[in-house]
Amino acid sequence: MLDKNTELALEDFENPVKLARFKQMMNETNQCMKNRERTGNPKDTDECENAELSQMNFWTFHTHPHGKSTPSGLDIQTSKRLGKKLMCIGLAPSGKIVCYDTIGKKIIKTF
């Protein structure tokens, strides 16, 4: 069972307009990665990440260019520091989204 604030965060995140924007961000990440491969620098992926924060204090969303579904230590620190309830990661190669609690241990929902 989710607490009320996490439920509100998930409800805010699931907005169809927002989900469409997140899919667009993953497409932009994929295009950036293709461009990096063409220029001979495919391992430097930081420039290809996209991020968005909720205007309310609910969630973070960012892309992982190589599709790693687990949050990094920096992902977790940033979400905690910002006081967010959800940390959602767009797995750019597959187009999937995975939302975690802010300690990065429990998957709340996948899209």
Summarize pLDDT for 29-38 with one digit per residue, the tens.
Answer: 999 988 887 7
Provide the H-helix boundaries in the chain.
4-13, 16-38, 73-82
Across the range 5-29, mean pLDDT stands at 89
Q: Helix axis angle, 4-13 relative to 16-38, nearest 10°? A: 70
Per-residue pLDDT at 42: 61
Which pLDDT value is given to residue 12? 86
pLDDT tens profile 35-88: 887 777 666 677 888 888 877 668 889 999 988 888 988 888 888 888 888 899
